[in-house]
Amino acid sequence: MTAGVAGDPRSFAPPAEVIATGVCTHHPGPSTRLLDGTRITDHWFELPLDHARPEGARIRVYAREYVSGADHDLPWLLFLQGGPGGKGVRQAQLAGWMKEASQRFRILMLDQRGTGLSTAANRNTLPLIGTPKDQADYLVHFRAPSIVQDAELVRLSLEAEPWTVFGQSFGGFCTLSYLSWHPEGMSRALITGGLAPLDGPADRVYRATYQRMRARNEEYFGRFPEDRQVLGRVYDAVRAGETGAAPSAVLPDGSPVTVGRVQMLGMFLGGNTRMDQLHYLLQEAFEQEPSRASTVIGASAGTLTDTFLHGLYQQVSRATNPLYLVMHESIYAQPAQTALPQPAPVTAAAPLARSEADATKTAWAAQRILRSSPDLADFDPARTAHPLLTGEMVFDWYAALDPALTPLQAVTEELARRTDWGPLYDPEALAANTVPTAAAVYTHDVYVDRALSLETASRVCGLRVWETDEFHHDGIGEDGPGILRRLLSLTDGSP
């Protein structure tokens, strides 16, 4: 493969050379303390937009430093958040994995480019770039290789020694990219629920995760059997509104409730305790009629409560993280040279079917797989009245319905059709990896498939896997200290 397309990390300027030119700037802010005494410091960096052309346009990248106690000489730990489009965690006081980590590290919480206090990429800013094609060309620089080049420039700007990198979910994808392109900047790598496939089309991800979601649906309805009927009633109420047989339901932002958007409540199934939160929400799905003559009447026929609609809105709105939708399938997009042969479509009439020539086009992979697979009819609202809940799947109607995404609909489509992608990873570098690396693989993870994770683990030299069925995708939110201790123990011997 040869470098050449925008965003290709093989064409990026070496970070040390970029720092030497003086084009990167670092502006630390004042330090303050949280209620528990933790010292926090804001850090602002001006970094190249296009790392292949460091003399060109620059963007702002923000990070927040957390130091517990008076020891400011601890080694650094960089945390890479899940996403795409997720900003760094904002803590009012240290708890969970951060409290555990703060005993050994200074923590740097990065707002990945385009998120949080870093230069924004949203409905207000992206249209200023130009046409949808111009915007897509701009966003090519917001993938994992550019994020980790930012991180390495940040490390050098801080004059820090090689640091521990801890990546959760998409942050784990970024950590693999860091190991690929800048292992010299890492003393160890820790990954939770984030071992991405190193090659192949996005299709293989969704073929696996639909099956995971089916099993998780059955587990949920096995635990709360009454919720299957309640969810069916929700679907019926929504369809009645769509046909005019009943008033249409709308979310707090005025956007319509659709069956597909209700299916997105499956995002609750990505965690152990979040399953209970879904149950609580469905318990309050329908309005109760007022009591009459001292008799309490049951639920009304089909009026969805404001509580339910607000809970649904919190799951489907991308107002706070628009890049989650815009960039989502691009986190799997690879050059044709690294793509594995694509499985033959299940039916000859598969929508948006691709040729080998455009094998890197994601082209709404989750949607294509759903519509072209007979065995996925139970997820498809067009083929079943009461479909199963979905997970981290994105669809082409997503941007059309969300007011925060509507101005980004055209650029999202541009990215879905794009074929000229640079590589996300360097398999040869990973095969020769010498950085102590450990990963937690969650057996029943519905977002990052176990089999694909173990396939990747087998291709990273020295990577030590801890597999567990005790947690789901958000394990560090349930027992962050224990998971962090386990991964650190697997990488003992590094600084």
Least confident range of 38-42, 187-191, 295-299, 470-474: 295-299
* Confidence label for 361 from pLDDT (cuts 50, 70 and 90): confident
Q: What is the pLDDT averaged over residues 474-494?
A: 92
Least confident range of 119-133, 244-258, 278-292, 432-446: 278-292
**Residue (of 402, 409, 322) closest to 114 by Cα position:** 322
Q: pLDDT per residue over 147-196, tens digit each?
A: 999 999 999 999 999 999 999 999 999 999 999 999 999 999 999 999 99
Query: Which residue shows structure tokens 């949607």?
Result: 367
Distance CA 457, CA 435 (A): 14
Token representation of residue 134: 């111009």
Q: Note the pLDDT of residue 62.
A: 98
Q: Note the pLDDT of residue 302.
A: 80
Judge whether residue 357 has pLDDT over 70. Answer: no
Least confident range of 28-42, 217-231, 288-302: 288-302
Q: Note the pLDDT of residue 291.
A: 62
Distance CA 69, CA 277 (A): 36
Least confident range of 11-25, 43-57, 302-316, 341-355: 341-355
Query: How many whole angstroms from its chain centre is CA 494?
Result: 28
Single-letter amino acid, residue 275: M
Q: Note the pLDDT of residue 69.
A: 75
Please state the three-class secondary structure of 385-449 as a single string.
CCCCCCCCCCCCCHHHHCCCCHHHHHHHHHHHHCCCCCCCCCHHHHHCCCCCEEEEEECCCCCCC
CB-CB contact of 422 with 175 (8 Å) = no
Q: What is the pLDDT averaged over residues 188-217?
A: 96
Query: Which residue shows structure tokens 């409540």?
Result: 265
Please state the three-class secondary structure of the chain as a single string.
CCCCCCCCHHHCCCHHHHHHHCCCEEEEEEEEECCCCCEEEEEEEEEECCCCCCCCCEEEEEEEEEECCCCCCCCEEEEECCCCCCCCCCCCCCCHHHHHHCCCCEEEEEECCECCCCCECCCCCHHHHCCHHHHHHHHHHHCHHHHHHHHHHHHHHCCCCCEEEEEECHHHHHHHHHHHHCHHHEEEEEEECCCCCCCCCCHHHHHHHHHHHHHHHHHHHHHCCHHHHHHHHHHHHHHHHHHCCCCCCECCCCCECCHHHHHHHHHHHHCCCHHHHHHHHHHCCEEECCCECCECCCEEEEEECHHHHHHHHHHHCCCCCCHHHHCCHHHHCCCHHHCCCCCCCCCCCCCCCCCHHHCCCCCCHHHHHHHHCHHHHHHCCCCCCCCCCCCCCCCCCHHHHCCCCHHHHHHHHHHHHCCCCCCCCCHHHHHCCCCCEEEEEECCCCCCCHHHHHHHHCCCCCCEEEEECCCCCCHHHHHHHHHHHHHHHHCECEC
Judge whether residue 256 has pLDDT over 70. Answer: yes
Q: Note the pLDDT of residue 271.
A: 85
Q: What is the pLDDT averaged over residues 200-216?
A: 95
* Confidence label for 493 from pLDDT (cuts 50, 70 and 90): low
Q: Which residues pair with 256 in a beta bridge?
A: 250
CB-CB contact of 286 with 302 (8 Å) = yes
Judge whether residue 363 has pLDDT over 90. Answer: yes
Distance CA 145, CA 115 (A): 16
Distance CA 277, CA 283 (A): 10
Q: pLDDT per residue over 414-467, tens digit each?
A: 999 999 999 999 999 999 999 999 999 999 999 999 999 999 999 999 999 999
| C-alpha to C-alpha distances, 142 to 8, 90, 299, 326, 364, nearest whole angstrom | 11, 22, 48, 11, 19
- Preceding amide of 84 cis, omega within 30: yes
Q: Note the pLDDT of residue 301.
A: 56
Q: Note the pLDDT of residue 88.
A: 94
Least confident range of 343-352, 357-366, 369-378, 384-393: 343-352
Over pLDDT 90: what percentage of the chain? 87
Catalytic residues, by residue number, are 169, 420, 473
Judge whether residue 372 has pLDDT over 60. Answer: yes
Q: Is pLDDT larger for residue 347 or for residue 375?
A: 375
* Confidence label for 392 from pLDDT (cuts 50, 70 and 90): very high
- The per-residue pLDDT of the chain, averaged, comes to 92
Judge whether residue 137 has pLDDT over 50. Answer: yes
Token representation of residue 488: 């650190």
Judge whether residue 236 has pLDDT over 70. Answer: yes
pTM for this model (two decimals)? 0.92
* Confidence label for 73 from pLDDT (cuts 50, 70 and 90): confident
Single-letter amino acid, residue 359: A
Q: Note the pLDDT of residue 2.
A: 46
**Residue (of 396, 403, 262) closest to 319 by Cα position:** 403
Judge whether residue 341 has pLDDT over 60. Answer: no
Distance CA 172, CA 168 (A): 5
Judge whether residue 342 has pLDDT over 70. Answer: no
* Confidence label for 353 from pLDDT (cuts 50, 70 and 90): very low
Q: What is the pLDDT averaged over residues 398-417?
A: 97
Phi and psi based region of residue 352 (left: phi greater than 0; alpha: psi -120 to 50; beta: remaining): left
